[in-house]
A and B are shown apart, each in its own frame.
Chain A
Amino acid sequence: MSTMSLLAKTSKVLLETCYKNISTKYTPLRFHGFFNSPFLEDVQIKARYEVTKSPEDWKYVERILPPLTVPELPQREVFISDFKPQGENHKHKPYYIARTRNHMIPVYLKIKQRGVKKLSYIRKIQGDIWLLQKELEKFLQPMSKAPLRMQVNEFAGTIIMNGDYVNAIKHWLKENDY
């Protein structure tokens, strides 16, 4: 048998198997995964619909679509919740805490050891992190009998605190316009 005819035969077999696979309807398979899942088919829509191409209508479609990136904060005097946007004029302050991409204060609570260990995290700190630590300590120390334990990571710009002080820190930061 010549190579050409062999090629033609194999390609025919390949085509047939492909068509066979395409025509199979989706049925739930046991232990199914990537390799034995059926090929994707075009969905047959039986409902009647009209195709329009008008930028006027597309405006309403775009309104429904979720934005790809987080939108900018709306300019409001007062927000309904207790959300407070970051204040201005932090340029000449010794340290700065940036908001997250969702415009929130980057302070978090991490619970470890099944609720035994509670850690408060402050992230995104720029500038003099040691001064921030001192000021925080001054504010938070009256809440605790034991001396506060703080871990300052200057390189990563984070402070980790032993104990749940998240709301207190957020309150303090909001007071200071961060």
Chain B
Amino acid sequence: MSISPIFSSKMFHRFICHFRQALPTRTLSSTAPETSPVEPNKNVIIEPRQLKFLPKYKEPCQVWVENLDTIDENKLGIIELHPDIFAVNPRIDIIQQNAKWQKLYRYVSYAHTKSRFEVRGGGKKPWPQKGLGRARHGSIRSPLFKGGGVIHGPKSPNPHFYMLPYYVRVNGLTSMLSIKLAQDDLHVVNDIEIPSDEPQYIKELIKSRNWGPSVLIIDEVDMMPRNITAATDEIQHVNLMPVYGLNVYSMLKHDTLVLTRAAVDLIEDKLLTALHRNSTFSYTKKFVLNQV
């Protein structure tokens, strides 16, 4: 029996489970036929996890825990993920709101035009009011004139900052994580220790595992191991990110999301706390600028 370093050996013996050949499908009305127990594969371990706030009629979803220290994929076990975080309704409308907000809150428009009073000149009446047979005009910088001012034109700087409601941000994250898992683009690894600091190692690993060209690797802390930082430094489409930086836009942008085992715990804990928060006043109140 292969024992991975992330699980304690005592738990192993206690929780050797029958390996079901396919991950069970989740339906409200369980009409799936009972499969006869296949012979147990003793290498596959369902790691016990204490899932808080488990909903009544949803089962936890299972994912493989993989390794990164070899190029070929090595399955170390199965962990169960919380259905309220990783198997919610994929609300693409909420995801769109999040992506739009992330683009806009830091965008400042520098488009600028001058009004008729800001354009230089134009103080004098161009020609007398009467007697010339021409149209009456008071200024050559009037918006009717070529080279005149612009009516209601853009003024610079125009910040587009706004705040998205707290629960739209939280639900955006859960929807996005669920979509990544449902589309088989979410992978859990035990840690991000790799044996070499060569970019070629990461490139080959991604190719052999059929991960999308762009990969986002999430770890619990922002001080990552040296080898993986050196290896991914040169590759622009493989990025490292701590859990506190996890966001909808980056998850949308990268094809594959790779979470470490510790990151899964932290993400789940933070999002569940957000979803079951006792006092939401300070989170859902109106956003104030210049707050200390």
Contact = CB atoms under 8 A, between A and B. Distances in A.
Interface majority SS (helix, strand, loop, mixed), chain A: loop
Interface in A58-107: 66-71, 90-92, 94, 96, 98, 101
A55 interface: no
B278 A67 contact: yes
Interface stretch (B115-123, B137-145, B150-158, B269-277): B269-277
A8 interface: no
B29 A156 contact: no
Interface in B178-223: none
A16 to B, nearest CB: 24
Contacts of B279: 66
Nearest to B277: A69
Contact of B278 (A66, A92, A157): A66
Nearest to A90: B57
Contact of B57 (A91, A155, A157): A91
Interface residues of B, number: 20
A10 B93 CA distance: 53
B55 interface: yes
Interface string B271-292: 0110111110000000000111
B74 interface: no
B56 interface: yes
B29 A92 contact: yes
B89 A156 contact: yes
Given A90-B57, A157-B89, A34 B273 contact: no
B28 A69 contact: no
A69 B279 CA distance: 8
Interface string A43-57: 000000000000000
A167 interface: no
A70 B291 contact: no
A105 to B, nearest CB: 15
B278 A33 contact: no
Contact of B275 (A67, A101, A155, A156): A101
B91 interface: yes
A90 B58 CA distance: 12
A133 interface: no
Interface majority SS (helix, strand, loop, mixed), chain B: loop
A37 B29 contact: no
Contacts of B93: 155-156
Contacts of A68: 273, 277-278
Contacts of B290: 33-34
A96 B56 CA distance: 11
Nearest to A92: B29
A90 B55 CA distance: 12
Given A33-B290, A96-B28, A90 B56 contact: yes
Nearest to A86: B56
Nearest to B291: A34
B276 A69 contact: yes
A31 B44 CA distance: 65
A127 B95 CA distance: 22
A156 B214 CA distance: 30
Given A34-B292, A70-B276, A127 B28 contact: yes
Contact of A156 (B28, B53, B91, B292): B91
B214 to A, nearest CB: 28
A177 B57 CA distance: 15
A72 to B, nearest CB: 9
Contacts of B57: 90-91, 96, 126
B276 A98 contact: no
Interface in A128-151: none
Interface in B237-292: 272-273, 275-279, 290-292
Q: Which of A68, A69, A70 has the most CB of B within 10 A?
A: A69
Given A69-B273, A90-B56, A91-B28, 14 more contacts: A34-B291, A37-B292, A68-B273, A69-B53, A69-B272, A69-B278, A96-B28, A96-B57, A98-B55, A98-B56, A127-B28, A155-B89, A155-B91, A156-B89
- Nearest 4 interchain pairs by C-beta: A69-B276, A33-B290, A34-B290, A101-B276
Interface of B: 28-30, 53, 55-57, 89, 91, 93, 272-273, 275-279, 290-292
6 contacts: A68-B273, A70-B276, A70-B277, A94-B29, A155-B93, A156-B93
